Amino acid sequence: MDNMVESQQPIERYMKAISDSLVAKTSHERSRPQTQEPHYIAKAMELLAHDGVKEATVLLYKALDLFHDEKHAKQYVLMKSSKGCIGWID
């Protein structure tokens, strides 16, 4: 019987270590800063509408494809002229 108790202790320690590791990982993921992707994509879409890009157009679909990459959406938001922005997409 003592043998059984001794053999369970390492398993219990192992399970506790796994559990603690999962808790730490989950906690770390929650505290990690979120990316700005939704902000840049939303802002880029607002600018598209402001720049006169109509819904259901080829230009809008090209822009949507580009904006899947956060860097492209950010680049569009940081551009100064509407003409340059539209040209960059096309």
> Cα separations (Å) of 1 from 6, 8, 13?
9, 11, 19
pLDDT tens track for 2-48: 455 455 688 888 778 888 887 777 776 666 565 545 788 889 889 88
pLDDT tens track for 39-74: 888 898 898 898 888 888 999 999 989 988 888 999
Name the pTM for this structure.
Answer: 0.54
Per-domain residue ranges of the chain: 1-32, 37-89
Predicted local confidence at residue 33, as pLDDT: 61
What SS3 class is residue 70? helix
Predicted local confidence at residue 70, as pLDDT: 85
